[in-house]
Amino acid sequence: MRSLFFVLATAAILLTATSGAKAQSVIEVGQPFPGLVLPALKDGSPASIAMYRGKKVVLHVFASW
């Protein structure tokens, strides 16, 4: 943990207010679906859309509310 905070402290000196890298995924027609690995609801195991290669996939991004 200490070494990570050393790096973060160093980064504080180097950072400027304008640095703003975004890490958001992009879902675009014709592009591969983002290769996120997320916990499965059923058991928390690693899961990804790539698990379904070879099948046509209907993906619902949703919430129960």
Partner 1 sequence: MPVWHEATKALQESGQIQVVGIIQEQHPDRCALFMQWKEMDWPIMVDSLDLLGVSAVPITVLIDEAGVVYKVRARTRDLEAFLSEPPVEFEEAAAPQAPNLEELRAHVSSEDSSDLRDPANLNALRYFIDSVFLWGGPQRLDEAILIYQSTLVMHDDATFAFHLGVALQSRYEKSHEPDDFARAIKAWSHALASDPNQYIWRRRIQQYGPRLDKPYSFYDWVSQARDEISARGETPLPLGTEPRGAELAYPARTFVVDETAKADPDPDARINLDQRGLIGIETIVVPTTEAGGSSSRVHVLLTPNESLNAHWNNESDETEVWLSPPPGWRVNALGRTAPNGPGAVSTEPRRVEFEILPPDDASPGIHVLSGYALYYVCEDADGQCLYLRRDIQIPITVR
Residue with tokens 């690995």: 37
Contact 50, 35 (CB under 8 A): yes
SS3 (DSSP) at 46: strand
Residue with tokens 């703003």: 20
Instruction: State the nearest-atom distance from the C-beta of 43 to partner 1, in Å.
Output: 10
Instruction: Tell me, by CB under 8 A, how many residues bind partner 1.
Output: 57
Q: What residues between 29 and 58 interact with partner 1 by CB under 8 A?
A: 29-34, 36-42, 46-58
* Sites of contact with partner 1 (CB under 8 A): 1, 3-8, 10-12, 14-17, 19-34, 36-42, 46-65
